[in-house]
Amino acid sequence: MTQQVYLDNAAASPLAAQVRQAIHKAEERYGNPSSLHNTGQQARQLISDARQRIAALLHCEPEEVFFTSGGTESINTALQGVAREAQQGHIITVQTEHAAVLETCKYLSSQGFRITYLPVDYKGQVRLEDLKNAISKDTILFSYSAVNNETGSTQEYAKIAELCRKQKIPIHIDASQYGEPFDTRHADLVSMSGSKVHGPKGTGLLFVQIGTPVQPLLFGGGQELQLRSGTENVPGIAGLAEALTLSPAHKKHSITAAQRLRKELLQLDGVTQNGGSPQSSIINIRINGVEGETLVKHCNTKGLYISAGSACHSGHLRASHVLTAMGLTKEQALSSVRLSTSYLTTPEDIIRAKTIMQQVIAQLRELNNTVHTHTI
């Protein structure tokens, strides 16, 4: 059987063993947390314990932690919640954001809100001067990612926070790809996803600093401290708390593995890194003379699982908006792929990944040369 190497953890990470145990244990608390009897109150206590654990990790108050169904809901609650409260105004975000942010901003634009999309430099970073110039009297929010989901590029969190707070502009940070609890001192709202930190899919959280005006998206029983309605996912919440507790140690290993992998990949002929950060487990590279999606498919047949730097829409390849915003041409963007490590990534995985990449790249270049020769 072919040895499999999974390097697509930025898309979804496998459940950690301890997380799976926490979920199974919590499944015994089957009562509705809103019920007054003992079974319900046992489930309620489990949620309360998880909220306190996570608050300690985030260095915030328990009442500032709200559980959601994932990163997308958290982002929508943050952006739409602030916008609904303000009713009108100006929102600043970044051209390289995740679709959950960009599509929400597109919707808010249709509702009369003015949206500014900041450009980035070749590293994928926002220029502070651009942010400063974009702020106006009616700016109600600045939303950006702690770590870009395609390239791993990071931002200057402290400097951004200092600039926005001088102007009294609330900050939302999408920390889904940060890999561990984010320092909430740098933001007023922080969204996170369980599936990116070896937690259960369909879980997430939103940190909302006390005093930040946010209206709910989902109405009903107001189970999540009146900001979100719906019966709580007790096993999922327990799994999320366990995953976040383990995440600092997991992230340390992931970054070490990514640094080793990056070093090996950049030794390959015609391979260049796109943006990124040494403190991220996400690596984005472009390969001269090879189409990214084709490379991904061929690596898949050899047991190496990575991600393309482009998306397929209606049968047509579309270059990554992240990479083109960083200055890459369409051809360069379509020649890019993403690899992302985890705490499970071994030195043997890294060597095997390099070997497979080297073989496939050589095969595809030879095929391309043959096709080009016959065409001529």
Query: Could you give the count of Cα atoms lying within 13 Å of 153 in the half-sphere of its Cβ?
Result: 24
Nearest to 147, CA basis, from 10, 273, 323:
10
Q: How many Å apart are CA 192 and CA 222, to the nearest integer?
A: 21
Helix (H) or strand (E) holding 356: helix 347-375
Three-state DSSP class for 325? helix
Backbone conformation region of residue 59, classed left if phi is above 0, alpha if psi is from -120 to 50, else beta: left
Helix (H) or strand (E) holding 189: strand 189-193
Instruction: Considering the candidates 60, 105, 299, 312, report the single residue annotated as catalytic.
Output: 312
Q: What is the 3-state secondary structure (H, E, C) of 15-39?
A: CCHHHHHHHHHHCCCCCCCCCCCHH
DSSP 178: S
Three-state DSSP class for 154? strand
DSSP 63: G
| Surface-to-core class of residue 301, CB atoms within 10 Å of its CB (0-12 exposed, 13-18 middle, 19+ buried) | exposed
| Surface-to-core class of residue 358, CB atoms within 10 Å of its CB (0-12 exposed, 13-18 middle, 19+ buried) | middle
Q: In the annotation, is 312 catalytic?
A: yes
Taking the CB of residue 195, how many other CB atoms lie within 10 A of it? 22
Q: How many Å apart are CA 124 and CA 326, to the nearest integer?
A: 6
Nearest to 240, CA basis, from 123, 71, 77:
71
How many residues are given for the chain?
376
What's the first-to-final CA gap in the chain, in angstroms?
41
Q: How many Å apart are CA 185 and CA 271, to the nearest integer?
A: 38
What is the set of active-site residues? 312
